[in-house]
A and B are shown apart, each in its own frame.
Chain A
Amino acid sequence: MSEYHADSQEFRYIGKPVKRNDGPEKVSGTAQYAGDIVLSGMLHARLLTSPYAHARILSIDTCAAEALPGVRAVITGEHGSVKVGIYMQDKSVIATDTVRYQGEIVAAVAADTVEIAREAVSLIKVDYEPLEVLNDVRKAVEPDAMLLHPHLGTYAHSVGVFFPEPGSNIANHTRIRRGNLEEGFKQADLILENSFEQNQVLHVPLETHVTLVQWGVDDQIKIWSSGQSPFSVRDLFSIAFGIPRANIEVNIPFVGGGFGGKAGIHLEPLVALLSKAAGGRPVKLEPTREEECQTLPCRQGQVARIKTGCTRDGKIVAEQVEILWDAGAYADYGVNIGRASATSACGPYHIPNICVDAKTVYTNHLYGTAYRGFGHPEVFFAVERQRDLMARELGMDPTEFRLKNLLYPGDETITGELITENTGSPDKCLKRAIELIDAQTPYTEAEKEQMAATGKLRGKAAAVLQKAPAMPTWSASSALVQMNEDGSVRISVSGVDYGQGTYTILRQIAAERLKMPIEDVYINKSVITPLSPYDWQTVASRMTSICGMAVMEACDDLIKQIREIGAIALRAAAHEVEFDNAEVYVRQNPQYRIAFGKIAMGYIYENGNAVGGPLIGRGKAIAQGLSNLDEHTGQGKAALDWTYGAHAVEIEVELATGDIEVLQMATVIDAGRVMNEQLLHGQIVGGALQGLGCTFSEVLLHDDQGRLLTRNFTDYKIPTFKDMPRKMYTDVVETPQLDGPYGARGAGEHPLISVTSTVANALANATGLEFYDLPLSAWRVWTKLQEQQQKQQEVQE
């Protein structure tokens, strides 16, 4: 056992290399995604979207579209004015009198074929009056800024959780205050203030938000959606349309990637309205890639200003952070990202005097939503850049600086949560990542000479990361574990496994708990709300932890029933009944055993008498002890658990082109307990590469009229096979989480956090170039290198 890993208790399935159970259908192309579903009488939908980022809709003429043969429904804002949302109901299904971003839906058509629908869309005439465009989040918070949502004060939202500022463009303002900032800065020997900026980015699931809805007779609604949140869709749909939840059936088949972009509710209400207008025929909408880029939401942009005060020996004594989130046109989800980012705004560091203001701000950009990491990849670009910049200013090794200021047991977070021995160890993650690629060993003189000779400068750096699930205090999961006739079991949950491996891990948990062969543990692979047990939604890396606890409780409930019926069948007391390998027996008489199959549906005596009945275990779990944060100080319990981690990279910068190659990268996560190493490795590598995409190429660009310039895979480049680092190391630290299943905590989002800052720090170490924004594209790096050279020449002259 190394210092990084937990005790290896004897487990049968926890931590064992169990293969995922969705393999055969996924590799054979038989896995059914929403787009593969065809219903009889099904119509096809197309959208008309706004060419303007901000405009008044003066009139819409749909006559020609409606007259086209094969068109069954045309709807506009007149039919779709109802507002739908999860945290801040600020967006109507279809734009009503104003469009606030280019790509916003203005009308939709359902027709017999996609071609007819497309033609009908082209026949709709819209008269717009273009309005001034608010395309800079800094301008949007100026006191005299134009208001994009003059009715902000009337929007329904979670009161006491979010704090909109009506009369401004601020949809939410979360404050955190701790200690005394002024006094803190007085103690500082060194104060450093920097601003960091990141544009919006896209999720890019390979499958777009495909949605199929039938608004049937008697308001019976059936939805098939490529979504992450079956019960949230049902809940929010019900609230918006006043239809009982039991009338709404949400089906989630296989989902082709989400990354947060499919959390909450999206196109379901729109397609439902089309179906209703078409007399209840089912309607399918398969957004094009361009629509996925410009109509469906993105990750928010960010401008962050950080002012840090430090003593000469490197202790951070005060920090002030102001984050402006570019929410874009709507902030339904953005308000919660703002809140979550505030709780993490200083990183995993112990700082006594704190002032954080996180504002979610409306602009005329594409609107933002949840994205893997939920605000943390952006926050950590700023925080972990600032740490390196501060260390440089102090003349201190950045790792030493970090280790000196990290949170340790006994410290409190900025919201006042006590860190304990079980919270997780950012320091160990950092040390291990550095160790994996030898990131602290300086280059030799010979190596430096070689770099100078080849024009390729190398640099190394490391940075830490953290994230806790960001969710309502009451977020809950439930699970059923039912025994089949043959004594095998099937698990039902409503978490969606879009590839992260949730279902496999839940099977491992159940097999471990029930002490039965994993081959006999099945899980339902699709969710259907009338049949599946409730789950809030599949977000926040919360499946292994919360849904996992629900499955454990369901197993325990099943075990109780197994013991009861086993006692009758074995003619023993329940406490004497043991079970193993799908059999029950009396502890003192293990050679006589009864198979689960004999008690699964009831035990039958020789004369035909039967007792018991079908065995069903039920379990539930709810986030324990979370509290709303105080409006003025932000103090409270924000985090169910903190997952910490760290990256280390070595990069090589080609001076002639500005091109950066990642030579090696190490990512270490404190996962509490590794449930399945192969799956975790897959999450880490996938997340890290997505982070490299955000570092080097992924950025949404708008023109000065707020129109999106990056609408396809040519203009918006995600990493390809060739962008993978040559060497990629992953490892874990295991500090078991007391309330996680077998000590596990979530790790799905974390690998993406801090990738940008680690690479930017390595770039500074290699070249001396300090980047305060992204991406680190060859062109931008090369331009800065030229400026640097020019300055050096000027100094020499």
Chain B
Amino acid sequence: MTTKSLHLTVNGEVYDAFVSENATLLTFLRDVLGLTGTKEGCGAGECGACTVILNGLPVNSCMVLALECEGAEVRTIESEYQNGELSNLQQAFIEYNAFQCGFCTPGMIMSARALLEANPHPSRDDIREAMEGNLCRCTGYDSIIAAIESVGVSAS
């Protein structure tokens, strides 16, 4: 299997690595960098569990080849916890009981982060629209909407 060199920034840290041509960003993050917070739910771009922020935009990392990320900035769930503190979104997810099994949660939070960066005060409909690609089997979604909405409201 051919490998190629890859240079990118993940959560503010610079990495130089050799990766195989068909490795996805998801497997690179999980298996090479050990950032296992990002989850695989389908490996086919259908569930959003693997969502990370690539150059400011949310992507399904299972659908992106690692080599496509040459020179890119990637942010994963591990970037949310800073200086020993949970982020506003993380706290809101706890406050609103916006997770049960927690498997969709990292992807949910990254999608929500991207949404809040693009639209700091999303309405409930904005949230439904932007988050449609993130599946959750446990919560029924309404607590997740409430959590994201609360962060949007308090960001004024």
Please give the residue numbers on chain A whose beta carbons come within 8 Å of chain B beta carbons, in ascending order.
19-20, 22-33, 35-36, 115, 204-207, 254-259, 286, 288-289, 498-501, 678-679, 681-682, 685-690, 712-714, 718-722, 724, 728
Given contacts A207-B103, A713-B44, A721-B128, contact A686 B77 (CB under 8 A): no
> When chains A and B are docked, how far (Å) is the Cα of A185 from the Cα of B34?
68
The answer to whether B127 and A20 have CB atoms under 8 Å apart is no
**Residues in B whose Cβ lies below 8 Å from that of A724:** 128, 140-142, 145
Please give the residue numbers on chain B whose beta carbons come within 8 Å of chain A beta carbons, in ascending order.
1, 30, 35-44, 46-47, 49, 76-78, 80-81, 86, 89-90, 93-95, 97, 99-106, 109, 127-129, 131-145
**Residues in A whose Cβ lies below 8 Å from that of B95:** 19
The answer to whether B137 and A28 have CB atoms under 8 Å apart is no
Given contacts A685-B140, A686-B140, A689-B141, contact A28 B101 (CB under 8 A): no
Q: Which residue of A lies closest to B46 (CB)?
A: A713
Given contacts A26-B105, A721-B134, A724-B142, contact A206 B49 (CB under 8 A): yes
Task: State the Cβ distance, A674 to closest chain B Cβ, in Å.
Answer: 14
The answer to whether B44 and A289 have CB atoms under 8 Å apart is yes
The answer to whether A713 and B42 have CB atoms under 8 Å apart is yes
- Which residue of A26, A689, A712 is within 8 Å of B102 (Cβ)? A26
The answer to whether A689 and B140 have CB atoms under 8 Å apart is yes
Given contacts A682-B143, A713-B44, A714-B46, contact A204 B137 (CB under 8 A): yes
What are 8 contact pairs spanning A and B, CB under 8 A?
A24-B94, A28-B90, A205-B137, A206-B104, A206-B135, A713-B46, A719-B141, A722-B129
**Residues in A whose Cβ lies below 8 Å from that of B93:** 23, 27
**Residues in B whose Cβ lies below 8 Å from that of A19:** 94-95, 97
Task: State the Cβ distance, B66 to closest chain A Cβ, in Å.
Answer: 14
The answer to whether B137 and A682 have CB atoms under 8 Å apart is no
**Residues in A whose Cβ lies below 8 Å from that of B109:** 27
Given contacts A259-B137, A686-B100, A724-B140, contact A28 B46 (CB under 8 A): no
The answer to whether A720 and B42 have CB atoms under 8 Å apart is no
> When chains A and B are docked, how far (Å) is the Cα of A540 from the Cα of B42?
28
> When chains A and B are docked, how far (Å) is the Cα of A687 from the Cα of B100?
12
Q: Which residue of B lies closest to A500 (CB)?
A: B100
The answer to whether B41 and A206 have CB atoms under 8 Å apart is yes
The answer to whether A27 and B36 have CB atoms under 8 Å apart is no
**Residues in A whose Cβ lies below 8 Å from that of B76:** 29
Task: State the Cβ distance, A72 to closest chain B Cβ, in Å.
Answer: 18
**Residues in A whose Cβ lies below 8 Å from that of B145:** 721, 724
Number of cross-chain contacts by CB at 8 Å = 161
- Which residue of B81, B100, B129, B131 is within 8 Å of A682 (Cβ)? B100
- Which residue of B30, B39, B86 is within 8 Å of A27 (Cβ)? B86
The answer to whether A256 and B39 have CB atoms under 8 Å apart is yes
**Residues in A whose Cβ lies below 8 Å from that of B143:** 682, 685
> When chains A and B are docked, how far (Å) is the Cα of A22 from the Cα of B105?
12
The answer to whether A205 and B106 have CB atoms under 8 Å apart is no
The answer to whether A256 and B43 have CB atoms under 8 Å apart is no
Task: State the Cβ distance, B145 to closest chain A Cβ, in Å.
Answer: 7
**Residues in B whose Cβ lies below 8 Å from that of A286:** 40
**Residues in A whose Cβ lies below 8 Å from that of B80:** 27-28
The answer to whether B99 and A499 have CB atoms under 8 Å apart is yes
**Residues in A whose Cβ lies below 8 Å from that of B49:** 206
**Residues in A whose Cβ lies below 8 Å from that of B89:** 27
- Which residue of B35, B97, B102, B142 is within 8 Å of A679 (Cβ)? B97
Q: Which of B76, B90, B109 has the most CB of A within 10 A?
A: B90
- Which residue of A20, A206, A255 is within 8 Å of B47 (Cβ)? A206
Task: State the Cβ distance, A74 to closest chain B Cβ, in Å.
Answer: 21
The answer to whether A33 and B103 have CB atoms under 8 Å apart is yes
> When chains A and B are docked, how far (Å) is the Cα of A40 from the Cα of B37?
20
Q: Which residue of A lies closest to B36 (CB)?
A: A36
- Which residue of A25, A115, A207, A686 is within 8 Å of B41 (Cβ)? A207
The answer to whether A27 and B140 have CB atoms under 8 Å apart is no
> When chains A and B are docked, how far (Å) is the Cα of A103 from the Cα of B38?
28
> When chains A and B are docked, how far (Å) is the Cα of A203 from the Cα of B41?
13
The answer to whether A721 and B140 have CB atoms under 8 Å apart is no
Q: Which of B36, B94, B101 has the most CB of A within 10 A?
A: B101
Task: State the Cβ distance, A687 to closest chain B Cβ, in Å.
Answer: 8
Q: Which residue of A lies closest to B144 (CB)?
A: A721
**Residues in B whose Cβ lies below 8 Å from that of A721:** 127-128, 131-132, 134, 141, 144-145
Given contacts A28-B86, A29-B37, A206-B49, contact A289 B42 (CB under 8 A): yes
**Residues in A whose Cβ lies below 8 Å from that of B38:** 29
The answer to whether B46 and A678 have CB atoms under 8 Å apart is no
> When chains A and B are docked, how far (Å) is the Cα of A719 from the Cα of B134?
10
The answer to whether A712 and B86 have CB atoms under 8 Å apart is no
The answer to whether B46 and A22 have CB atoms under 8 Å apart is no
The answer to whether B103 and A256 have CB atoms under 8 Å apart is yes
> When chains A and B are docked, how far (Å) is the Cα of A28 from the Cα of B91?
10
Q: Which residue of A lies closest to B96 (CB)?
A: A678
The answer to whether B81 and A685 have CB atoms under 8 Å apart is no
The answer to whether B43 and A289 have CB atoms under 8 Å apart is yes
Given contacts A24-B94, A115-B1, A682-B139, contact A498 B101 (CB under 8 A): yes
The answer to whether A27 and B137 have CB atoms under 8 Å apart is no
Given contacts A257-B137, A714-B46, A720-B132, contact A682 B127 (CB under 8 A): no
The answer to whether B97 and A682 have CB atoms under 8 Å apart is yes
**Residues in B whose Cβ lies below 8 Å from that of A714:** 46
> When chains A and B are docked, how far (Å) is the Cα of A563 from the Cα of B133?
56
> When chains A and B are docked, how far (Å) is the Cα of A682 from the Cα of B146?
12
Task: State the Cβ distance, A97 to closest chain B Cβ, in Å.
Answer: 33
> When chains A and B are docked, how far (Å) is the Cα of A681 from the Cα of B99?
12
Given contacts A115-B1, A712-B42, contact A29 B36 (CB under 8 A): yes
Q: Which residue of A lies closest to B94 (CB)?
A: A23
> When chains A and B are docked, how far (Å) is the Cα of A690 from the Cα of B73?
37
The answer to whether B140 and A256 have CB atoms under 8 Å apart is no
> When chains A and B are docked, how far (Å) is the Cα of A679 from the Cα of B138?
12
